[in-house]
Amino acid sequence: MTDNSRDRLVWVEVPATDLNRAKGFYEAVLETKLIEDNNGPQVMQMIPSKGDSMCGHLYEGKPATSGDGSTPHFSVTGELTDAMDRIKAAGGEVVSEPIALPMAAFFYAKDTEGNSLAIFKYND
């Protein structure tokens, strides 16, 4: 039997050719500080979630080519238009207009490394 009491997505790993540039991008867009973790074989920048938990990390690696790879969706609390402005100001690219869903809206973008991502906002 399947346990549906937990979120299906538990972690995301985002590759970056320039870890410091990617860190600055995600800090600006998500309006949070990433947490450096160098306890393993390579330095990672941890992406915080609610409370003391983490939802993923950035690591030095090769991003997928444009149009390939996964697309993590990150939630924001502010307006999507503000997040679009932050993406552009941080060196990323907005690639779609907001897409409305019954309970939320989101848009697609690319980070400074060329990775696909989406910014998601629940309806108030």
How do beta strands 54-60 and 73-75 pair?
A: unpaired
Q: Which amino acid is at 14?
A: V
- Distance, in Å, from the CA atom of 109 to the CA atom of 79, rounded to the nearest integer, reads 15
DSSP state of 91: T
The pLDDT value recorded for residue 115 is 95
Rg (CA), the chain: 15
Counting residues of the chain whose pLDDT is more than 90, the rounded percentage is 76
- Distance, in Å, from the CA atom of 88 to the CA atom of 5, rounded to the nearest integer, reads 37
What does the domain layout of the chain look like in residue ranges?
A: 12-122
Has residue 26 got a pLDDT over 90?
yes
Per-residue confidence at 54, pLDDT binned at 50, 70, 90? Answer: confident
Report the predicted TM-score, pTM, of the whole model to 2 decimal places.
Answer: 0.87
What count of residues does the chain have? 124
CATH fold of 12-122: 2,3-Dihydroxybiphenyl 1,2-Dioxygenase; domain 1 (3.10.180)
Check: CB of residue 2 under 8 Å from CB of residue 88.
no
Has residue 94 got a pLDDT over 90?
yes
What are residue 86's DSSP bridge partners?
none
DSSP state of 6: S
